[in-house]
Amino acid sequence: MLERIPSIRKAPDEEYYVPGHRTCAGCGPALAYRLTAKAAGPNTIFVGPTGCMYVANTSYGCGPWRVPWIHAQITNGGAVASGIEAAFKVLARKKKYQGEIPHVIVFAGDGGAVDIGLQALSGMIYRGHDVLFICYDNESYANTGIQTSPTTPYGAWTTFTPSGPKVPEGKKLFPKDNPKIIAHGHPELKYVATASIGWPVDLMNKVRKGLNVEGPAYIHIQAPCPKGWQFPAEKTIEMAKLAVETGMFQLYEYENGEYKLSVKLEKRKPVAEYLKMQKRFAHLKPEHIEKLQAFVDAKCAEVGIMVPAVASV
């Protein structure tokens, strides 16, 4: 069993996601990967579906992992992980493998978890494989040019949802809520959580909790992308914190049919404070912001965040 990490000072010193990658400056997904690998430890196998954390990490035949890693197609991360987990169980049963069964973690972007890869993820959980599936959500198909994905927020500019006279708000659709889709439709699922790179100890402990349960677990990590969201690279952590403080992203665990909040908000900042720091929302008009605020208020209420949004003085 992996022990709970009490503080950032007492986090493991060893790194298993190390220099050698070519991610952008301020890359949120890279930090999410580093924290996940640090929490999981050396007895881990990562499955990496196609996406930013595959392409940027494996350029020129090198990679930044000190643990085994395998590339999967963007469609089949859950299926590849299922096969790895099942193979170790068979080898152990036949006494052809006598070591400690490794942790198996899928680390997929929102395309490989919420969109193209959702079928394989759902099948993995439905069959009850002992795998932790993590979505690092940078809210777009960032690797191929910042196209819209099912987790791109309403109103965001992407190369597929540009704002203009006919569609002034940019993206017209509200985002898919994958943690809730996963949580409420899979009887074999043991653990669901959301996490943020703005709360690193919380993130690492959720990774460890997901690995400690016997059976499938799912964690959805919001990972800000300076390039796609169009904010300065040094503002990544500030952006992650502001997402939670405004309710744009909610931090919680879902176990035994109940939501447990990870961060207690005394007050909630209005979403306008979050939007104004990102050029992807620069075209929005007051009516669009009001529409998004109402959506965020409702999503917060679903998980028990009842404090109203109040503008900073």
When pLDDT is cut at 50, 70 and 90, the band that residue 60 belongs to is: confident
Please say if the pLDDT value at position 49 is more than 90. Answer: yes
| Average pLDDT of the segment spanning 78-100 | 97
Separation between Cα atoms, residue 19 and residue 57, nearest integer Å: 10
Structure tokens at 248: 């744009």
Q: How far apart are CA 247 and CA 298, in angstroms?
A: 10
Total-model pTM: 0.97
Q: Among residues of the chain, what percentage have pLDDT more than 70? A: 99
Residue-level pLDDT at 227: 96
> Phi/psi at 128 (nearest 5 deg)?
80, 25
- pLDDT at residue number 312: 64
Q: In this model, does residue 311 exceed pLDDT 80?
A: no
**Cα dihedral sign for 188, 183, 16, 55?**
positive
Within 10 Å of residue 136's Cβ, how many Cβ atoms? 28
Query: pLDDT of 177-206, one tens digit each?
Result: 999 999 999 999 999 999 999 999 999 999
C-beta separation of 107 from 136 below 8 A:
yes
pLDDT tens digits, 27-44: 999 999 999 999 999 999
State mean pLDDT over 158-167. 96
pLDDT of residue 310: 83
**Residue 165 phi/psi, 5° resolution?**
-60, -35
Average of per-residue pLDDT across 33-62 = 95
Residue 94, φ and ψ in degrees, nearest 5: -85, 5
Q: The dihedral of CA 43, 119, 29, 192: what is its sign?
A: negative
pLDDT score of 302 more than 90: yes
Segment 277-286 shows an average pLDDT of: 98
Average pLDDT over residues 156-171: 97
Per-residue pLDDT of 107-155, as tens digits, reads: 999 999 999 999 999 999 999 999 999 999 999 999 999 999 999 999 9
What is the average pLDDT score of the chain?
96
pLDDT at res. 252: 98
pLDDT for position 211: 98
Residues near 256 by beta carbon (within 8 Å), at least 6 away in sequence: none
